[in-house]
Structure 1
Amino acid sequence: MHDSRKDTVIEDSYISVGDDVIAIKGGWDQYGAVYGRPSKNILI
């Protein structure tokens, strides 16, 4: 599992629950901060 994502497209998705959401992760806990790799260039 990756903690960040780059150059990503999310399309043709149908999400149907009480609180639809797409959450973009940018690193996990202190490890993400040390690694310094944010999520970027994401098209929804």
Structure 2
Amino acid sequence: MLMLAIMSFNGGVFVAVILGLSIRYLLFRTGEEDAMVVDNPCACA
């Protein structure tokens, strides 16, 4: 959708998509990404 907004050459649509994605991220993110702990120091496992 972001690519479609850019290709339409409409700045308002582009800004609306960026704001929508930013607000969605801030409202619906979970803290689980930060809490992920890897006990195995080997990256191949």
Q: TM-score, normalised by structure 2?
A: 0.22
Higher strand proportion, which one? 1
Looking at both structures, which has the greater relative contact order when contacts are Cα pairs under 8 Å and sequence separation is at least 6? Answer: 1
